[in-house]
Structure 1
């Protein structure tokens, strides 16, 4: 039994292969209320270890697109977006579509194996409705490009797309692990922050742009004091067709 304080406790029912536990919260109250009462904003360790979590984090560590509860971390590439930026993009002829993403705690996990084939990729839940899929397919058919905002959006789009390059409606978990050699089917570019070395996310951007290009980009970022991680700077990655 784990006692979280604030009259919140749970029984550890099972330990999974990835080291996580299934908890059964005790009592009759909805688990959402229990988490709100006993928990705090789940900021990444590299932020939470340096300062106390405060009330502002509930707004700061949240994108303008958030609608549904369920994620344990923000899809941080979208933190750069504002109403003004979206208006400017629309005025320039750039459309936008939104997906439902529930980012999982595994997004913080490093690769701990020597061979990527042995890495157990974390799964995250997402949804693309039929109307959104149709509009994205129509944009590509008309010669436009689909630019994913964030690696989680990219993984969801790639999971929803068949070998024919057609994006299908999708609802469920995705554990797709993208490494160099992967053939992208759904997207033509990516907007993303700067990630840790030896991470699955750096492998993903290297698959999109090539390892040499990404090492050069990261060397530039380090030399010019770019900020990494959640509240860091962003990059727009457009591979040559």
Structure 2
């Protein structure tokens, strides 16, 4: 995986010198369009692809609806020094003052969503940077980080912060995705869903019920072919489903895999 003048900029990210500028006209991605998930590195997508998801540090695809990935609820490991230096008070800490990390993604520290307004100033400026580059939507990741906080954060904290991020995205002229976390589907007011492994966990219907055909689903090769086949058989005519290698490496690199149904 994966600022205003008053906050500074993250590593390798140019400073944004103003807060997000309100713009009318944001639109969600086209329903059931073929998409490609390129977080491991940008590459030219296949001709039938209509939606491309890339990291906020990458350039959007100028010919397709482009979605900007932002790790909005946790840090990227390479940015930990920057967070500690510039916004240490926004990082979640345990009772002993240590940083709380995601046990599944070493080095990713949880952001303290109880400081929702201050966090949104930082992340909202990243949204503005996505818009300035030409992205049309944002994908704020790790909405479910409260479940890995050891009880320090709550579902309500995640929802409150999520709603502020929705306002910031819309003010910047961007649609915004719910990333995973089916138990929150439809509650916060996201515009569409990007879901990982919903066939593995039997969650695809939850997203479909909340977002109709505007669900973009990724299954991974390390789960075998059954989950992808199940997703295609059950929902392939209703939502966009792809199969990708777990590291989402660029086309032409060892391990690359991409299919859609």
| TM-score of the superposed pair, with normalisation by structure 2 | 0.30
Choose between structure 1 and 2 for higher RCO, CA contacts under 8 A separated by at least 6 residues.
2
Return the index of the structure with the highest Cα Rg.
1
| TM-score of the superposed pair, with normalisation by structure 1 | 0.31
